[in-house]
Chain A
Amino acid sequence: MNNILETKNLKKIYHTEKQETLAVEDFSFNINEGEFVAIVGPSGCGKSTILSILCGLESKSDGEIKLNKNTKIGYMLQQDSLFEWRNILSNCLLGLEINKSLNQKTKKKVIDLLNTYGLKDFIYSYPDNLSGGMRQRVALIRTLATNPNLLLLDEPFSALDYQSRLAISDDIYNILRKEKKTMIMVTHDIAEAISMCDKVIVLTSRPAKIKSIYNIELENKSTPVNNRKDKKFSYYYDSIWKDIDYHV
Chain B
Amino acid sequence: MYSLEHKKYLKKIKKDKITTIIYQITIFIIFITLWQILANLDIINTFIFSSPKRIINTIINLYNKEHLLNHIWITVYETFISFLSATIIGTIIATILWWNKKLQKVIEPYLTILNSLPKVALGPIIIIWFGAGIKSIIFMALLISLIITIINVYEGFNSVNKNKIKLMKSLNATKSQIFFKLIFPNSINTIISALKINVSMSLIGVIMGEFLVSKKGIGYLILYGSQIFNLDLVMSGIIILCIVATALYYLIYYVEKIYEKTTH
A residues with CB within 8 A of B: 52, 55, 57, 75, 77, 79, 81, 83, 85, 94-95, 97-99, 126, 146
B residues with CB within 8 A of A: 161, 163-164, 166-173, 177, 181-182, 185-186, 188, 263-264
B163 pairs with A83, CB closer than 8 A? no
Chain B nearest Cβ from A162, distance in angstroms = 26
Task: Count chain A CB atoms within 10 A of each CB in B171, B173, B182, B263 and give the residue with the most.
Answer: B171
B188 pairs with A81, CB closer than 8 A? no
Residue of B nearest to A75 (CB): B170
A81 pairs with B172, CB closer than 8 A? no
A81 pairs with B171, CB closer than 8 A? no
A77 pairs with B171, CB closer than 8 A? no
B172 pairs with A79, CB closer than 8 A? no
Task: Count chain A CB atoms within 10 A of each CB in B161, B172, B181 and give the residue with the most.
Answer: B172
Give the dominant DSSP class at A's interface: loop
CB contacts (< 8 Å) of B164 on chain A: these are 81, 83
Give the dominant DSSP class at B's interface: helix
B264 pairs with A126, CB closer than 8 A? yes
B181 pairs with A79, CB closer than 8 A? no
CB contacts (< 8 Å) of B185 on chain A: these are 83, 85
Chain B nearest Cβ from A186, distance in angstroms = 14
Cβ contact of A94, chosen from B169, B171, B188, B263, cutoff 8 A: B171
Give Cα distance in the complex from A78 to B263, angstroms.
26
B169 pairs with A97, CB closer than 8 A? no
B188 pairs with A85, CB closer than 8 A? yes
B182 pairs with A146, CB closer than 8 A? no
Q: Contacts A85-B263, A98-B173 hold; do A77 and B167 have CB atoms under 8 A apart?
A: yes
B169 pairs with A81, CB closer than 8 A? no
6 residue pairs, one from A and one from B, having the closest CB atoms:
A75-B170, A81-B167, A79-B163, A95-B171, A81-B163, A81-B164
Chain B nearest Cβ from A5, distance in angstroms = 16
Give Cα distance in the complex from A83 to B173, angstroms.
15
Q: Contacts A81-B161, A83-B182, A83-B186 hold; do A98 and B172 have CB atoms under 8 A apart?
A: yes
Give Cα distance in the complex from A52 to B167, angstroms.
11
Give Cα distance in the complex from A55 to B173, angstroms.
13
Residue of A nearest to B167 (CB): A81
Residue of B nearest to A95 (CB): B171
A146 pairs with B167, CB closer than 8 A? no
Interface pairs (10), CB distance under 8 Å: A52-B166, A57-B170, A77-B167, A81-B161, A81-B164, A83-B185, A85-B186, A95-B171, A98-B171, A126-B264
CB contacts (< 8 Å) of A81 on chain B: these are 161, 163-164, 166-167
Residue of A nearest to B185 (CB): A85
CB contacts (< 8 Å) of A83 on chain B: these are 164, 182, 185-186
Chain B nearest Cβ from A190, distance in angstroms = 26
Give Cα distance in the complex from A63 to B181, angstroms.
34
Chain A nearest Cβ from B145, distance in angstroms = 26
CB contacts (< 8 Å) of A85 on chain B: these are 185-186, 188, 263
- Other than the known A77-B163, A98-B168, what 10 A-B pairs have Cβ atoms closer than 8 Å? A57-B170, A77-B166, A81-B166, A81-B167, A85-B188, A85-B263, A98-B173, A98-B177, A126-B263, A146-B171
Give Cα distance in the complex from A107 to B177, angstroms.
20
B161 pairs with A57, CB closer than 8 A? no
Q: Contacts A79-B163, A126-B264 hold; do A94 and B181 have CB atoms under 8 A apart?
A: yes
CB contacts (< 8 Å) of A79 on chain B: these are 163
CB contacts (< 8 Å) of B167 on chain A: these are 77, 81
Give Cα distance in the complex from A79 to B173, angstroms.
18
A99 pairs with B171, CB closer than 8 A? yes
CB contacts (< 8 Å) of A52 on chain B: these are 166
Chain B nearest Cβ from A149, distance in angstroms = 15
CB contacts (< 8 Å) of A77 on chain B: these are 163, 166-167, 170
B181 pairs with A97, CB closer than 8 A? yes
CB contacts (< 8 Å) of A146 on chain B: these are 171
Chain A nearest Cβ from B164, distance in angstroms = 5
A98 pairs with B181, CB closer than 8 A? yes
CB contacts (< 8 Å) of A94 on chain B: these are 171, 181
A57 pairs with B171, CB closer than 8 A? no
Residue of B nearest to A74 (CB): B170
Chain A nearest Cβ from B230, distance in angstroms = 52
CB contacts (< 8 Å) of B186 on chain A: these are 83, 85
CB contacts (< 8 Å) of B263 on chain A: these are 85, 126
Give Cα distance in the complex from A85 to B161, angstroms.
14
Chain B nearest Cβ from A31, distance in angstroms = 19
Residue of B nearest to A152 (CB): B170
Give Cα distance in the complex from A126 to B185, angstroms.
15
